[in-house]
Amino acid sequence: MSGRNLKSLQKAINIINYLAKEGDKGITEISKEFDMSKSSVYNILNTFADNGWVKKNESTEKYQLSLRLFELGNIVRSGFKLREIALPYMNELVEKTDETVHLTIMDEGEIVYVESAQPDDKLAMSSVIGRRAHMHCTGVGKAILAFQPEEVIDKIIAEKGLPQFTPNTITEKEKLKKHLNKIRKLGYSIDNIEHEYGVKCVGAPIRNENGVVFSSMSITGPSPRFPEEKIEEYSAELLKATNEISKKLGWGLI
C-alpha cells in the first residue's frame, strides 16, 4: 500500500474514532476537526455508509456510527472467548475420533471458520481458519441455520442463494426448510458430501448466554471414514462438547 493510501486510511480511521467519541457530527464539523476538504469527508462517510458502518440522520444531516460496528465488536469479543473455551474440547474430540474438528461463527449470513484442531497421525485436512462458506451446504452452517428464526432463514436464503457445490447440495428452499426442521429435532446436522467432494461432517450448535445459536462445531473427514455408526457415535460426543461449551458461555445460567 502506498504512503498516500495509508494516509487516506488513517484519515478514515480518525473519523470513525471521532464519531465514536463525540457522537453525531456533520461534514462541516468533521472537515474542520481534521482540516480536510468537505468533499474528502463526504467520500469517506459515503463509503462507510455503503458498507453499513455509519448512517446519516436525514433530519439533522449528521452522521453517526451504526450498529454494524457494535455487531462486529460482539463477534470479535465472542470469538476470542469462544476459542479459549472451545479449544480443549476440540482437542479432546480429535483424540477420541482421530478426525479434524472445526469451530465456526455466523457472520452476515455466512459461516466463518475461527479455529481448527487436527490429528497428527494421519493425513489431515488443510486449515480453513478465516475461510467463509455458505450455510445451506455445510454441517457447521446448517447447525446454526436450523436454529435461527424463520425470518432470518428466509433473509439468508434470499441474499446468499442456494448455490450447488456437489450433486448432494440442497438447492430448493422448501426442501432445505424440511431438512432444517429435521436438524432441530435431532439436535445436530450432517454434511453428506454437500459442500466438498469426498468430505462428510457432523455439526452441532453452540449457544450464547441468551440461548441464541451463534456458533457451531463439527467433526470432519473423508466420507469413507463416516459410515452411519460413526456418525451416531460422533454426534453424541459432539453434542456433549457443544453443550458444555454453551454452558461455559453462560447458557442456562440466566
Among 8-17, 98-107, 124-133, 141-150, the minimum mean pLDDT is found in 124-133
pLDDT in tens, 98-109: 999 999 999 889
- In CATH, what is the architecture of 3-65? Orthogonal Bundle (1.10)
Residue 52 or 197, more confident: 197
Task: Kindly tell me if the per-residue pLDDT of 146 is higher than 90.
Answer: yes
Task: Kindly tell me if the per-residue pLDDT of 177 is higher than 60.
Answer: yes
Task: Kindly tell me if the per-residue pLDDT of 68 is higher than 90.
Answer: no
Provide CATH 1.10.10.10 ranges for the chain. 3-65
Cα 33 to chain centroid, rounded = 36
pLDDT band at 124 (very low <50, low <70, confident <90, very high): very low
C-alpha–C-alpha distance, residues 244 and 224, integer Å: 29
Cα-only R_g, the chain: 22
Q: How far is CA 39 from CA 27, 42, 249, in A?
A: 9, 5, 46
Q: What is the pLDDT of residue 254?
A: 47
CATH number for 71-248 (one of 3.10.350.10, 3.30.360.10, 3.20.20.140, 3.30.450.40): it is 3.30.450.40
